Amino acid sequence: MDVKTKVKMLVQQVVEAYLKEQLHVKEKEIEKQSIAILLGYQSQNPSVVLEAVTPLIDSCEVTLILSKDWLPSHAALSGKPYVLLDETSQEELNRIVESCSTLVVPVASYRLLSKLALTMDDELAVWLALQYQLLGKPIVIAKDYIEPNVYQQIHAPHSVQERLQSYIRQIQADQVKWVPLSKLAQTVDAQQTAFKEKQSLILAKHVEKAFQDGLKEIVVPDKSRVTPSAMDLAKDLKIQITKTSP
C-alpha cells in the first residue's frame, strides 16, 4: 500500500470518528428532557434543596421559575436562565407549560398543598401547577418540609393532621407525585418515562368539543388511541387528528 493510499485511509478514519462523535452528542442532546423547576416557596435549608435539584439541572433542559426569595441562590444553580414568578405573565407561563413536560416543586408550602387539593388558582404557583394537571403532564412535589414530623404528629390536634392528610391524599389521587427530596431526581426520571408511554384515549366527545371550540386539528401524543366513533366524527366535521411525540 503506497503512502497516498495510507493517508487517504487515515483521513477517512478521522472523519468517520468525528461524525460518529457528533452524532453521539446530538443523540445525548435529544435525550435531555425539558422540565420546569419552581422555587417559589421559602426553605429552612436552601442548600439541601439546591443539592437535590443539581442532578436535574445537569441531566435535563431546565427552565427555572423563581420567587425573589430564591434570587440570592441563583448563582448556585449553574447560572441557568430563570424567570421571576411574580413578574411573569400567564401567557409566558403558558409557554413554559407547553414546552416543559414536567413541573418539579422542590419546596412546597401548606398554602400550595391545600389550594392545589381544592383547585383554587388564586396565586400564580397554584395556577401553574393546575395548568400541568389539566394537560395531564407530571408534577413532582418534595414533601420534606410539609408532611408532619414525628413531634408534630404527637402534639398536633388530630383534626389538623387529618386535614393535612386529606389534602395529601387528594393530590396523590390527582396523580401528583409526593416524594422526599432524596428521591426527587429518580422520580422525575420515572415520570418522564411514564409520560412518554402514556396512552390517551380520544373519544367522540373530545372531537365534538374541538368542533365547538372552532378547532381544525387536535394534536395528541403518538401513543394515543382514537376510537372508531371519534375517527368517524372527525372525518365528518373535517377535524384532523395529529399524533406527535411528547
Q: What is the pLDDT of residue 140?
A: 98
Amino acid occupying residue 36? A
Average pLDDT over residues 150-175: 94
Q: What is the largest CA-CA distance in the chain?
A: 90
Q: What is the pLDDT of residue 7?
A: 57
The rounded distance, in Å, linking the Cα atoms of 218 and 240 is 6
pTM of the model: 0.79
CATH of domain 33-197: 3.40.50.1950
**149, 150, 153, 154: CA torsion to nearest 10:** -150
Average pLDDT over residues 52-60: 91
> If you average pLDDT over every residue of the chain, what do you get?
87
DSSP state, residue 201: E
For the chain, give every domain's residue range: 1-31, 33-197, 201-244
- For the beta carbon of residue 42, count every other beta carbon within 10 angstroms: 12
Average pLDDT over residues 200-210: 92
Cβ–Cβ under 8 Å, residues 117 and 163 = no
Average pLDDT over residues 27-55: 83
